[in-house]
């Protein structure tokens, strides 16, 4: 399936960061949807069944780790690749994210090629 047919959901509570990540993915040929909170994200991910999710960890309502754990428990969502993009950069934070089921864990700031390559890796491209 070409990238143009694949949907990426960006889960990020800061609108500027969400738009930056979304634009990086649009330039790469993906259809992009944004969610600014974890509660909305869980509903949107369940409805859209995206090709991949770009997920922030520090969210105002529910931790991104809880979103990730929720996805890994749900049969329809468990195989969706998740690229974590977080300011939490300590080795223990990264290990926790990967153990929770992240396909790739990136620390902010993230450049275009780094995010594009991480998404492609997560998608198995």
Span 37-93, pLDDT tens digits: 999 999 999 999 999 999 999 999 899 999 999 999 999 999 999 999 999 999 999
Q: Answer for the pair 48, 21: CB distance below 8 angstroms, yes or no.
A: no
The pLDDT value given to residue 73: 97
Query: At residue 27, does pLDDT exceed 50?
Result: yes
The pLDDT value given to residue 1: 43
CATH classification at residue 85: 3.40.50.2300
Task: Specify the DSSP class assigned to residue 110.
Answer: -
Mean pLDDT in residue range 20-47: 96
Confidence of residue 5 (pLDDT cuts 50, 70, 90): confident
Q: How far apart are CA 55 and CA 6, in angstroms?
A: 17
The pLDDT value given to residue 84: 98
List the domain range (segments joined by +) for residue 23. Answer: 3-123
Question: Taking the CB of residue 39, how many other CB atoms lie within 10 A of it?
Answer: 12
pTM comes to: 0.95
Between the two ends of the chain, the Cα-to-Cα distance in Å is 10
Query: At residue 4, does pLDDT exceed 60?
Result: no
Q: How far apart are CA 1 and CA 5, in angstroms?
A: 7
Task: Specify the DSSP class assigned to residue 84.
Answer: E
Quote the number of domains for the chain.
1
Q: How far apart are CA 95 and CA 50, in angstroms?
A: 24
The pLDDT value given to residue 120: 96
């Amino acid at each position: 399936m070409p990238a143009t047919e694949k949907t990426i959901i960006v889960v990020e509570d800061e609108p500027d960061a969400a738009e930056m990540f979304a634009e990086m993915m649009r330039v790469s040929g993906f259809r992009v949807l944004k969610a600014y909170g974890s509660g909305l994200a869980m509903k949107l991910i369940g409805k859209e069944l995206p090709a991949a999710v770009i997920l922030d960890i520090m969210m105002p309502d529910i931790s991104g780790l809880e979103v990730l754990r929720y996805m890994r428990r749900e049969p329809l969502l468990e195989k969706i690749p998740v690229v974590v993009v977080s300011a939490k950069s300590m080795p223990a934070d990264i290990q926790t994210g990967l153990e929770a089921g992240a396909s790739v864990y990136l620390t902010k700031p993230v450049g275009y090629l780094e995010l594009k390559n991480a998404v492609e890796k997560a998608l198995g491209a």
